[in-house]
Amino acid sequence: MNDRFSLQGRVAVVTGGGTGIGRGSALALAEYGADVVLAARRPEPLESTAGEIEALGRRTVAVAADVTKAEECQRIVDVTLAEFGRLDILVNCAGGAETKSIRKWTEDEWHQVLALNLGSVWFLSRAASVPMLAAGRGAIVNISSGASLLGMPQAAPYGAAKAGVNNLTASMAAAWTRKGIRVNCVAVGAVRAATLTDDAARYGLDPEAIGLMNGAGRLGEPAEIGNAVLFFASDAASFCSGQTLYVHGGPGPAGIRHGHLPPRQEEPVHRRRPPPSGDHRR
């Protein structure tokens, strides 16, 4: 039987690959046959995930890099081509932000959030497109957030950046799909990963309570987002490009409204706002 999910012989780059959704995505791709280049700022988590990938029988390289810088994004691509001779899949997973009210953000913080969550997707996708276009095929999967689809005053810069990722996904798909590169996006809901759990702790919130308002009644796991990434990266999604898939556990009791706290804890409790929906800091 032809396995449309097989990634045998392919090479993937995963940013934010040391922890959380990045780690879950990298392991999902490796499990289905891909060799993986892991990129993030902190080398220690990368080495840990690299060990897990090698245990699956796949080759891997860990690259400590700052994906907010164009030259660092190009270096990731250069290392990938030098080590493996090809680049088939890019997963733009690096990201994250804290939560606070609109007037409390500094100018530098605004630029930092946009650079990490949107600029990195722009720079690395453009760098990766060169070998993909030369090969006539490739798959780019961007990680966005439910915050991109909502008005969230405590996560305004983050939500704006992720909304930009959704739009950039569609624009790159329009530019590159006929040339062989599919570009898709996964907007995640509340997932058990560092941005969510760390920010919940900062506000004195129980992370488990944040997942109660979706249909599943729980937090998502990074591996579950990895499954969505695997779909878009594989030939199973050969007719999908320019799409943003919202993976958030389903609508909760309030229907399509996507709450974050049980009703008894919602407004007007202004000092205990929940973090953005989902985690993207790897």
Residues tagged active-site: 158
* Sign, CA torsion 75/177/241/228: negative
Residues in the chain: 282
Burial 181-219 (b: 16+ CB within 10 A, else e): bbbbbbbbbbbbbbbbbebbeeeebebebbbbbbeeeeb
The secondary structure of residue 205, as a DSSP letter, is -
CA angle 6, 11, 13 (to 5 degrees): 115
What CA–CA distance (Å, rounded) separates 52 from 46?
Answer: 10
Alpha helix segments (H runs only) across the chain: 20-31, 43-55, 70-84, 107-114, 120-135, 156-176, 194-202, 207-210, 222-233
Q: What does each C-alpha distance from 34 to 100, 163, 198 come to in angstroms?
A: 39, 29, 31
Longest dimension (CA), the chain: 57
Q: CA-based Rg of the chain, rounded to a whole angstrom?
A: 18
Q: Phi-psi bin for 33: left (phi > 0), alpha (psi -120 to 50), beta? A: left
Q: What residues are paired with 142 via a beta bridge?
A: 92, 185
